[in-house]
Amino acid sequence: METFSYKGESLFCEKVNLDEVARSKGTPLYVYSYRSIVESYDRIARAFAQVRPLICYSLKANSNLSLLRILSQRGAGADIVSAGELYKALRAGFSSEKIVFAGVGKREEEIEYALREKILMFNVESASELRVIDELSRRLNREARISFRVNPDVDPKTHHYITTGKEENKFGLDFAEAKRLYEKARQLRRVKLVGIHMHIGSQITSSLPYLEALEKVAGLVEELREEGISLEYLDIGGGFGIGYEEGTSSLEVEDLARKTVPIVQKMRMKLILEPGRYIIGPAGVLVSRVLYKKKTKKKTFLIVDAGMNDLIRPSLYGAYHRIKKIKRPDEMTSFEVVDVVGPVCESGDFFAQERALPEIEEGEYLAIMDAGAYGFSMSSSYNSRPRAAEVLVREDKWWTIRERESLEDLIKGEHTLEEKDGISCQLIPFTKMEGCGNDFIVIDNRSNLIQNRAEFARRVCARRTGIGADGLLLVENSKEADFKMRTFNPDGTEPDMCGNGARCIARFAYLKGIAKQNSSFWTPSGKIVYQVEGEDVKIKMKDPSDLKPAIKLNIGGKLYEGHFINTGVPHLVLFVEEVEKAPLKNLAPLMRYHQLFQPEGTNVDFVEIERDVLKVRTYERGVEGETLGCGTGAVASSLISSLIFGLASPVKVRMRGGRLLVYFQKRGDIFTDVFLEGKAKVVYEGYIPSSLMGEGT
């Protein structure tokens, strides 16, 4: 069934009017059909059902997470060529045991990442790559499952930029070199030979090149068997072509299966396919609006708001894409020959040249067809043009699956230099975050740009003369974990731990791509394990220490009873009837500096138990005042409340800045497996001129 078709006066995607989507989301805009993706995937699966192939979708074609999720839920595997694609594949739910890693230039850190994730196999392309994989697998004590990509020297008769299986191409190994490396690899202790791989090119619409290449590879497999090398997987790559032009056809996958399945069965190997374009290409269109109609002596130009930065295939390959009006042309509409061009300052910025199209007026919407593959994935912000939004349609509903980039997004991650007194100074990017009302300035300091950290903290945390915050959080390098967290109070002191700060820095590291969704970081109090789910962050706290219940303090001739515990930093917990009436402002500073807690002092928590909820107010040392929330204080209050009043895990904590949950295991007065959970939010982002932050920063 045609996914994109006219209904009434407009072009529809499934049951959604593209005119309405374009007016709602603006243009340029990518629109994808759920049904088209599923039907194309299922068609391949049915065609090759006899051999039950592993269909590894090629992420390079389009790696939007929502689209990947559709395929991972369908049972697909993933064909990747970078650490970024591995990261996205895992985020989208692909099993690591269904991921194959191809590409001629895998970096060491990419190979290490894939080894740690235990992917199905690497498609190895050179002797040097084999050496690096062997070294890393031995150092990490991980098994490296590999196949070799062979070059069968077959011409698929496609564009010379997208042929990959000829002798002059950079991809793969000739058969003699492949045999030599198979023999070498079988001697390596941590390397396991599991397959053989070929990929002869892209946009192939005939079965014959596959058949020719496969017969050659089958002969090599038989030679390897005679040498005692038996392989489990046969990966014949992808490159399945689609019919971009009117009257042209896509690859008949049923014909390909009829011709190749008997060979695969004879080889007695598990088949892997790597389609990308075939699945996602026809599923997407690029919707654009006509800005101007310009007539010269020789040509008529339709200038649209999409450009070569949005869809580069016509400019790069001379590729053909059908172009349709969103508004259905009536039978009386006349045709005119036009060039459809974009606003980018390049003569190569076009989508069609000398194309006969129904007469089109300024302000109309056009759909550039079959743009789902190598459209957004090859897009850029050339000419400082924000990249397009993406929308997914399923039946009569549609969802935004990628927001349009903003102008601010164009400078994200950039560092500018300012001139101050003739000296260049760097602008330091920061993120203001808050967790349960605790606000922090968070900075990636892995380059050690900020050296005088205490002075820097005093300046930027100042509420009136700086940015203002309860603390400064720095991400720094660590040998023990993914990164190190350093925390500085507004007075420049450095505590060992901050619970809400830890939750904020975990989400910051995840959002910035510094660490994964589930990982760990190092603090002076020890390693912290965390899990990020949206704005919710859960961290595993250090097991508490120095428990001293029922401490008596004589202050001004009056006795007070408190309970001391160290939850990464010291806390004194006092129970009161009404926490809002607690004498925090006057009493807490005296307790903070009490001789019992010298020389470090202590934080002070006033706690009211209201049914099964703790209401907590905290005076924090270093801040030297009350904060709206305190993570280690919430933990301290919860554990002491469990010890004194028997509260069970999880304990609900309400502070002035928000709510937290505290989980723990308890045996007698011993607490283990302590977790803190709550929101960690980004407030805003900005830049700090390093020249204004004091000498040494």
pLDDT value of residue 18 = 98
- Banded pLDDT at 469 (limits 50, 70, 90): very high
Average pLDDT over residues 61-89: 97
Domain containing 170 — which CATH number? 3.20.20.10
pLDDT value of residue 412 = 80
Q: 466 and 574 share a domain? A: no
Separation of CA 680 from chain center: 18
56 is catalytic: no
- Banded pLDDT at 165 (limits 50, 70, 90): very low
Residue 662's closest CA among 637, 645, 644, 628? 637
Residue 106's closest CA among 140, 80, 145? 80
Given 345, 436, 504, 630, which residue is catalytic? Answer: 345
- Banded pLDDT at 693 (limits 50, 70, 90): low
Q: 107 and 180 share a domain? A: yes
Cα separation, 508 vs 499, in Å, equals: 14
**40 within some domain:** no
Cα separation, 690 vs 105, in Å, equals: 37
DSSP-based helix, strand, coil % in the chain, nearest 5: 30, 35, 35
Q: 275 and 325 share a domain? A: no
Average pLDDT over residues 370-393: 97
What are the pLDDT digits (tens) for 619-647?
999 889 999 999 999 999 999 999 999 99
pLDDT value of residue 164 = 44
DSSP, residue by residue, 134-160:
HHHHHHHT--EEEEEEB-------S-G
Cα separation, 229 vs 625, in Å, equals: 71
DSSP lists the bridge partners of residue 197 as 149, 235
Which of helix, strand or coil describes residue 593? coil
**41 within some domain:** no
pLDDT value of residue 26 = 96
pTM above 0.85, yes or no: no
Question: Which residue, 222, 255, 280, sits at the end of a domain?
Answer: 280
Q: 598 and 664 share a domain? A: yes
User: Residue 72 in contact with residue 38, Cβ under 8 Å?
Assistant: no
Q: Is the backbone peptide bond immediately before 650 cis, with ω within 30 degrees of 0?
A: yes
Question: 259-298 burial, b if ≥16 CB within 10 A, otherwise e?
Answer: ebbebbeebebbbbbbbbbbbbbbbbbbbbbbeebeeeee
Q: What are the C-alpha distances in Å from 318 to residues 38, 241, 265, 349, 654?
A: 29, 16, 39, 11, 62
Q: 83 and 71 share a domain? A: yes
pLDDT value of residue 344 = 96
Here the contacts of 550-553 (C-beta below 8 Å, separation 24 or greater) are: 551/596, 553/591, 553/594, 553/596
User: Residue 493 in contact with residue 507, Cβ under 8 Å?
Assistant: no
DSSP, residue by residue, 310-347:
T--HHHHH-----EEESBPPPTTPPEEEEEEE-SSSST
pLDDT value of residue 194 = 98
What are the pLDDT digits (tens) for 325-363?
999 998 888 999 999 999 999 999 999 999 999 999 999
Question: Which residue, 251, 280, 309, sits at the end of a domain?
Answer: 280
Tokens of 580: 């809002």
pLDDT value of residue 168 = 55
Q: 230 and 302 share a domain? A: no
Q: Could you give phi then psi for residue 7, rounded to 5 degrees?
A: -135, 120
Q: 315 and 265 share a domain? A: no
**460 within some domain:** yes
Alpha helices (H) along 149-201: 175-185
Which of helix, strand or coil describes residue 563? strand
User: Residue 387 in contact with residue 379, Cβ under 8 Å?
Assistant: yes
Cα separation, 94 vs 78, in Å, equals: 7
3-class SS letters over 474-537: EEECCCCCCCEEEEECCCCCCCCCCHHHHHHHHHHHHHCCCCCCEEEEEECCEEEEEEEECCEE
pLDDT value of residue 238 = 94
Residue 491's closest CA among 463, 455, 467, 466? 455
Tokens of 20: 């309405």
Cα separation, 240 vs 201, in Å, equals: 9
Model confidence at 598: pLDDT above 60: yes
Q: How many domains does the chain have?
A: 4
Q: 212 and 145 share a domain? A: yes
- Which domain range does residue 586 map to? 545-679
Of 347-356, 406-415, 512-521, minimum mean pLDDT range? 406-415
Cα dihedral sign, 259-263-269-273 = negative
Domain containing 304 — which CATH number? 2.40.37.10
Higher-scoring residue by pLDDT: 360, 425: 360
- Banded pLDDT at 169 (limits 50, 70, 90): low
- Tell me what percent of the residues of the chain surpass a pLDDT of 70: 95
Cα separation, 325 vs 331, in Å, equals: 14
pLDDT value of residue 382 = 96
Dihedral angle, C-alpha 245, 247, 250, 252, nearest 10 °:
-170
Strands 323-325 and 270-273, sheet pairing = unpaired
pLDDT value of residue 420 = 59
Q: 196 and 99 share a domain? A: yes
DSSP lists the bridge partners of residue 696 as none
Model confidence at 162: pLDDT above 50: no
**10 within some domain:** no
Cα separation, 552 vs 133, in Å, equals: 62
pLDDT value of residue 430 = 94
pLDDT value of residue 448 = 86
Cα separation, 673 vs 675, in Å, equals: 6
CB atoms within 10 A of CB 169: 15
The mean predicted confidence, pLDDT, of the chain is: 92
What are the pLDDT digits (tens) for 253-290?
999 999 999 999 999 999 999 999 999 999 999 999 99
Q: 235 and 311 share a domain? A: no
Q: 152 and 272 share a domain? A: yes
Q: Is 75 left (phi over 0), alpha (psi -120 to 50) or beta?
A: left
User: Residue 497 in contact with residue 523, Cβ under 8 Å?
Assistant: yes
What is the residue whose two structure tokens read 């509903």? 397
Separation of CA 15 from chain center: 31
**1 within some domain:** no
**182 within some domain:** yes
What are the pLDDT digits (tens) for 77-96?
999 999 999 999 999 999 99
pLDDT value of residue 160 = 47
Q: What are the C-alpha distances in Å from 609 to residues 548, 596, 632, 652?
A: 20, 26, 18, 10
**106 within some domain:** yes
Which of helix, strand or coil describes residue 253? helix
Q: 249 and 299 share a domain? A: no
For the chain, the straight-line distance linking the first and the last C-alpha, in angstroms and rounded, comes to 63
Domain containing 551 — which CATH number? 3.10.310.10
**556 within some domain:** yes
Model confidence at 159: pLDDT above 80: no
- Banded pLDDT at 424 (limits 50, 70, 90): low
Average pLDDT over residues 372-396: 97
Question: Which residue, 376, 402, 428, sits at the end of a domain?
Answer: 402
